[in-house]
Structure 1
Amino acid sequence: MSHPRLNNPRAFRVKLAEAARVRRPPRHAFRADRAIAALWNELATAAASRPMYQAGSADVAVISVRRGINVWCRDGKFIWSDVLGGGLVTHPACDPAGAAALLRPFPRRRVSQRGRHHAANLSVA
Structure 2
Amino acid sequence: MAYPSIYEETSCITLIEASSAGCLCVVPNLGAIPETGANFPWMYGYEQDKDKHAQVHGHILARAIEHFWDEDIQNLLKIQRSYFDMFYNWSLRSGQWQQFLHAIKAPKEIKLKDGTTS
Higher RCO (CA-CA < 8 Å; seq separation 6+): 2
- TM-score normalised by the shorter chain: which range applies? under 0.3
Higher strand share: 1
TM-score by length of 1: 0.24
TM-score by length of 2: 0.25
Larger radius of gyration: 1
